[in-house]
């Protein structure tokens, strides 16, 4: 697999504004395993006041929140989609986020880059963050 360099990415000022304006974060690939990065990051975001929406193929509840199998199943507004999935999975996830019509930001976690998915999101009017960790950036900016 070839690594991509992000051709589309928000800068730190935009990231700061993202954290100030979003309230609900759907975490795609949120594992119920507390040792996994997705779980630790979501737990941190929840602890600093964000509403977390677990998107995971199985289970009823993670971090005290109802689990949804996909973004399209979530019956309320989502501001940001935080993705813990392989780069190849991102285009369909972004397409689902676009179809919702309410997502303002897609965030691909540290080590995850997909410029095709990023371009789709940007063309739909969303902010895009690639190859960065929501927890690390939030702590650095507001810690």
- Residues 63-82 have pLDDT tens digits of 999 999 999 999 999 999 99
What kind of fold does domain 12-142 have according to CATH? Rossmann fold (3.40.50)
Q: 66, 96, 103, 61: which is closest to 81 by C-alpha?
A: 103
Res 3 pLDDT > 90: no
pTM of the model: 0.96
Domain ranges of the chain: 12-142
The per-residue pLDDT for 6 is 87
CB 128 within 8 A of CB 113: no
Res 2 pLDDT > 80: no
Burial of 68 (0-12, 13-18, 19+ CB in 10 A): middle
Strands 105-108 and 127-129: parallel
Task: Report how far Cα 21 is from the mean position of its chain's Cα atoms.
Answer: 15
User: Is the alpha carbon torsion for 73, 86, 131, 84 positive or negative?
Assistant: positive
Report d(CA 124, CA 38) in Å as an integer: 26
Q: 104, 139, 111: which is closest to 14 by C-alpha?
A: 104
């Amino acid at each position: 697999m070839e690594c991509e360099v992000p051709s589309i990415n928000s800068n730190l000022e935009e990231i700061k504004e993202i954290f100030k304006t979003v309230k609900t974060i759907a975490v795609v690939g949120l594992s119920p395993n507390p040792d996994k990065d997705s779980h630790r990051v979501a737990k941190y975001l929840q602890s600093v006041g964000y509403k977390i929406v677990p998107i995971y193929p199985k289970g009823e509840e993670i971090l005290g929140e109802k689990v949804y199998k996909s973004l399209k199943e979530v019956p309320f507004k989502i501001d940001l989609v935080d993705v813990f999935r392989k780069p190849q999975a991102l285009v369909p996830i972004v397409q689902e986020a676009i179809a919702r019509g309410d997502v303002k930001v897609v965030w691909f976690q540290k080590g995850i880059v997909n410029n095709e998915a990023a371009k789709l999101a940007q063309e739909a009017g969303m902010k895009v963050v690639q190859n960065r960790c929501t927890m690390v950036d939030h702590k650095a900016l507001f810690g």
